[in-house]
Structure 1
């Protein structure tokens, strides 16, 4: 169970960066793999899990699979940092389709090729397919969200909550809000997006807030659970990250920083309605060293 810390009487954050693999994505990865083993779809020592990711889900899969004697093969797009690709490979993932990707294939095409030719490749693959696997939501509803609800009750937090979150697949946002409402919390929820993006309208721009607005509609995001949408910039995110490190001692990642920036926006309005703010600390900021190194002086000073 990841820690819930009270930042002040009005605001708590659940540090999912404490998880194996370093992020909330371990929840879905571990749950999907465990269920597939139970169903006989993954046979440890024989089956290789295959997925298209170079982000947190990939690291979560490695952490979930290696302790179960299951190999992991990943199709990692060239847009991901070389740092992440090297680290995934160094930790034990097989990075597949490198030449295909250099020749212009997409990660999805690499996956489709390997699934279609697994017999000739001498492999037995299981595709976790995080963007279409409904177990993704269940992992956060029965795991992350239920834990969060119990921790809030044990801490004596108010029943009226304002949940701040973002969406890649939308599974954690949907699962957490569903869990809290099932536990009789009165929850309003804010979806955070990078400036220039409008997920509902299918509008996406290039941005550095990895983990949200990934270029496709979040397949598991239940829009009936979204009360409002707030936007933030990279600069506001970086300021919020530095302020959180100064105040709490945790270097959080970009999605967490974006949510923290929106928390600051909300504190300056009447939108809180006497609600207790709660959010997830999705991952650590060590994944994005270039941003830390390039942080301009006015951002450092603003924090």
Structure 2
């Protein structure tokens, strides 16, 4: 069970970075692999898992599959953290289709090519297919969300809660929201999207909040669960990473900081000031040092802007 951290003003953050693989993606990876093994779809020593991932699901697959001696082949998009892709390879994943990706193919194209030619490649693949596998929702409903509900009950919270989350596949957002409802909570679910993105209309922009609004509509996001959508900007992410570090000693990742920032914004809204707000620390901020550097640099509009920005950060932290 991962920790539930209580911050100021009744903001609760479930530290999913405590999982093996250091993110919430381990939940779905383990759930999918265990069910596939029980169904005979994955056979140790014969089957190779294949997936397209930006990193976190890959780490989850490696951590979950290592127990069973199952190999993992991953197509990692070039826009994702190079530190993650290097470490995935170091830990034993085979990164496939590097030349194909460099030539302009998508990770999805790379995976499909390998599936189509697996016999020629000498492979027997099992495609975990995180963007189509309903087991991801079940993992977060039965595991992450059920744990969170139990922890909230232990904190004496038994009625209304606000849940704030991002959506890549939408599996965690939907699964956790459903689990909280099933546990008897009156849940108001708020979705966070990076500036320039609108999944409802299919609008996406380039951004570095990995795991949120990933360029395609989230296949498992149940819009009937979404009360409101909040927009997050890079400087808000950076400010909140600092604030949360000084609150807890944890440096969280970009999507984690995005949801925590919105949780704080919601708590400042008089409509919600008496309602506990719950969110997820999806992964660690140690992956994203380049994001921090670029965001700080973009804030330096004049010679003296850096000191002004740092002063603003301290003001926001306070």
Pairing 1:82-161 to 2, within 5 Å after superposition: 82-161=82-161
Does the 8 Å CA contact 1:16/1:280 hold for their aligned counterparts? Answer: yes
Does the 8 Å CA contact 2:263/2:278 hold for their aligned counterparts? Answer: no
Does the 8 Å CA contact 2:118/2:125 hold for their aligned counterparts? Answer: yes
Deviation string, structure 1 residues 126-148 (Cα, Å, up to 9, x no partner): 00000000001000000000000
Does the 8 Å CA contact 1:242/1:300 hold for their aligned counterparts? Answer: no
- Structure 1 residue 81: deviation in Å? 2.8
Does the 8 Å CA contact 1:49/1:128 hold for their aligned counterparts? Answer: yes
For residues 286 and 68 of structure 1, the distance between their equivalents in structure 2, rounded to whole angstroms, comes to 29
Q: What residue is the counterpart of 1:71 in the other structure?
A: 71
Q: What residue is the counterpart of 1:167 in the other structure?
A: 167
Deviation string, structure 1 residues 241-260 (Cα, Å, up to 9, x no partner): 10000111110000011111
Q: Secondary structure at the match of 2:219?
A: coil
Count of aligned pairs between the two proteins: 303
- Structure 1 residue 294: deviation in Å? 4.3
Q: Secondary structure at the match of 1:105?
A: coil
Q: What residue is the counterpart of 2:178 in the other structure?
A: 178
Q: Secondary structure at the match of 2:271?
A: coil
For residues 30 and 45 of structure 1, the distance between their equivalents in structure 2, rounded to whole angstroms, comes to 18
For residues 13 and 229 of structure 2, the distance between their equivalents in structure 1, rounded to whole angstroms, comes to 19
Matched, 1:292 2:262: no
> What is the root-mean-square deviation in Å for CA atoms of aligned residues?
1.3
For residues 260 and 271 of structure 1, the distance between their equivalents in structure 2, rounded to whole angstroms, comes to 18
For residues 201 and 294 of structure 1, the distance between their equivalents in structure 2, rounded to whole angstroms, comes to 29
Q: What residue is the counterpart of 1:243 in the other structure?
A: 243
Matched, 1:207 2:207: yes
- Structure 1 residue 267: deviation in Å? 2.3
For residues 158 and 104 of structure 1, the distance between their equivalents in structure 2, rounded to whole angstroms, comes to 50
Does the 8 Å CA contact 2:168/2:211 hold for their aligned counterparts? Answer: yes
Q: What residue is the counterpart of 2:197 in the other structure?
A: 197
For residues 32 and 118 of structure 1, the distance between their equivalents in structure 2, rounded to whole angstroms, comes to 21
For residues 208 and 104 of structure 1, the distance between their equivalents in structure 2, rounded to whole angstroms, comes to 20
- Structure 1 residue 263: deviation in Å? 1.7
- Structure 1 residue 293: deviation in Å? 3.6
- Structure 1 residue 110: deviation in Å? 1.1
Does the 8 Å CA contact 1:163/1:189 hold for their aligned counterparts? Answer: yes
Q: Secondary structure at the match of 2:163?
A: strand
- Structure 1 residue 273: deviation in Å? 5.5
Q: State TM-score, norm by structure 1.
A: 0.97
* CA 300–39 in structure 1, closer or farther in 2 if over 3 Å, else same: farther
Q: Which runs of 5+ in 1 are unaligned?
A: none
For residues 309 and 257 of structure 2, the distance between their equivalents in structure 1, rounded to whole angstroms, comes to 13
- Structure 1 residue 96: deviation in Å? 0.8
Q: Secondary structure at the match of 1:163?
A: strand
